[in-house]
Amino acid sequence: MSEVEDAMDWFWGVLKGDFEDEQTTGQIIVGTAISMIPVLDQIADIRDLIANLLHIRKDPDDTWRWVALVITLIGLVPVLGSLLKGIFKIVFRFVKTGGTEAGKAIEAILALLRGAGKGDPVRFLKELPYDAYLKDVLKHFDGILNGLRKGIDKSIDYMSSRWLNWALGSTARRLRLVEQELQRLQRVGHEKIPDAMKALKVQVDKLLAHAKPADVKGDTNKVNTLAHSSKPLMRLEYEVAVKRIGDEITAMRKAGKSEEEVARWANNERRDLGKKFKDSTDPDLRDVIYRRNTERFGDPLGPSYEDLKRGFYVDKYGKRRAISKRGKTDTEIADAAARAGGDDFPWDKILEYSRAKREGDAELAQKILREIDSIVNRKP
């Protein structure tokens, strides 16, 4: 094993963190320093990326090793990342198993897209903006590697003290070798990642040739679409994120947290999540949603913990406005935070509105928006 390989293996032990049974003192100190770098707050993503790079080092000219790295980074793209990662993993599996059973592969992809609310998944795949995703992938690639190199520099600074350098022995030299190797791989990545993205597109296009029209009962057009209306993809991503709140609630309860602590956390997390997704929503549509929430709950992001406990909020005139017939218990507040709600929204209309905006039909978009507003903010 070369000195560089030994250093990279040692660094892999740093990133494994709590999953490494016997970390050395040096690995613990370096791991602490790296975790303090703001851009590196998703340590699982870093582990996945480094695992990809370790495979790439064995054969840097293997395009599909770089494709595996791209798929990891695609998962970090906001809103669509999880869906795209799932699609490309199916493509990757199809290629790595010899390119057989193309029909099954494309049908699995189309089923995934239909389940995610894409009425015309074939069109969705044909219109994927690969150039934009390439920019996102390179941005995340640079962000993580630059952050790692910054963490390494910080670690070496820690070791400048005489006692720590003595205690850690050859750790500083190992880190320098790792930093140099990461820098080299970063340069190579800017050459190879665009080729990997092109390879993905080629395989997706090949699979699309095997797409069969969906056999939708009662539909004479026989296109790859669903008979029923679907929710926008961003909404489905939101519902998945809300479900994760429920998973965390379960974990907190198992850990012995009080119901009040769980409820306060869940309510705050739900409000923060709502803001994150609403910030990415079309501004005019967001105004409609904010008016609805403000009217119902006195807050554009939904009811606060305190108001839910009371069962009412106080409006700007000092008048009590009921949220529910009675105040909610902590358990009810926590459980409600894990339910996405939104049953009163006309999702089919919202899809029509988004389509009109995308196609540049401003007049139609405004007409549909007024219809949405009249439904969502209907006076009792």
d(CA 265, CA 337): 10
Is residue 180 in a domain?
yes
Residues 139 and 10 placed together within one structural domain of the fold: yes
* Domain boundary residue, one of 175, 208, 241: 208
Judged by DSSP in three states, 213 sits in coil
Residues 204 and 246 placed together within one structural domain of the fold: no
Residue 19's pLDDT is what? 38
**Closest by Cα among 75, 24, 22, 83 to 47:** 75
Residue 168's pLDDT is what? 53
Residues 85 and 186 placed together within one structural domain of the fold: yes
Can you give the pTM of this predicted structure?
0.49
The tokens describing 91, both together, are 């493509």
Residues 70 and 204 placed together within one structural domain of the fold: yes
Residues 113 and 44 placed together within one structural domain of the fold: yes
DSSP-assigned letter for residue 212: -
Is residue 292 in a domain?
yes
Residue 106's pLDDT is what? 85
Domain hosting 345: range is: 233-376
Residues 97 and 130 placed together within one structural domain of the fold: yes
Is residue 227 in a domain?
no
Residue 11's pLDDT is what? 62
Residue 7's pLDDT is what? 67
Residue 36's pLDDT is what? 44
**163-172: b (≥16 Cβ within 10 Å) or e:** eeeeebeebb
Residues 163 and 244 placed together within one structural domain of the fold: no
d(CA 18, CA 259): 28
Residues 194 and 50 placed together within one structural domain of the fold: yes
Residue 363's pLDDT is what? 92
Residues 246 and 197 placed together within one structural domain of the fold: no
Is residue 218 in a domain?
no
Residues 170 and 275 placed together within one structural domain of the fold: no
In this prediction, the residues of the chain whose per-residue pLDDT falls under 70 are: 1, 6-45, 47, 78-79, 115-119, 157-171, 212-233, 236-237, 379-380
The count of domains in the chain is: 2
Residues 103 and 160 placed together within one structural domain of the fold: yes
Residue 158's pLDDT is what? 63
Residue 259's pLDDT is what? 95
Residues 80 and 145 placed together within one structural domain of the fold: yes
